[in-house]
Amino acid sequence: MHDKDFTTINSWRDLIPFGINSLTMESCAYNMRMLCDLSEEGVLLLQNYFGFTENCFAKNWNRKVGDKKSVASIMLSTNSFSDIACFALLQNGYEVAVKYKDTVDGMSRRTYKTLREEHPTIFHKSNILFAPTTQDSYSPSINGRNVHAYSGRSK
C-alpha cells in the first residue's frame, strides 16, 4: 500500500488507502463531525482505534472507498484527524508517526533517526512523536492495545 520507510498524511483524503473516505460535514447539525464511509479495512481500523468489540457503525452512504467496497459509515470529529492518521500509520507497519501541525508523517525508526540528525530544527521536541512502546519492551500487543501482563487480557 505505502512505502514503509516514509509517507505523509495531509488531509482526510489521504486516509482513503486506510479504508476511510471523508464525505461531508453537512451531516453534522453542529458542524463538528465529518461523515465518512468505511471499507472493511476502515471498519477494522476504527474498531481497534476506539476499542469497539462489535460492529456499531451505521450503513454506508456510497458504494466505494477508493477501489474497495464501502460497508459502513461513521461521523468522526474533525479534531480526531491527526490521531486517527497516526493510529492508521502505526497499525499499517510504520514504526514511528510524527505529528506536526496538520500533517502526520509515518516512517521507520531508521528514517526518523536520520531526519532528526539532518534536520534538527524540523524534527525537534515540539513535534509529537508516537512509537509503539512494545517494540522496545517484552510486552505483546494486539491491534494497538497492550496485553495486560498479569491477566493476559487485551480487551
Encode pLDDT of 105-140 as tens digits. Answer: 999 888 888 988 888 777 765 567 777 654 444 456
Compute the distance between CA of residue 84 and CA of residue 135 in angstroms, rounded to an integer: 20
CA dihedral 135, 139, 140, 145 (to 10 degrees): -90
Phi, psi of 134 (to 5 degrees): -70, -15
Contact partners, residue 101, CB within 8 Å, separation at least 6: none
Residue 109 near residue 95 (C-beta atoms within 8 A): yes
Paired sense of beta strands 128-130 and 96-100, if any: antiparallel
The tens digit of pLDDT for each residue in 47-91 reads 999 988 888 899 999 999 999 999 999 999 999 999 999 999 999
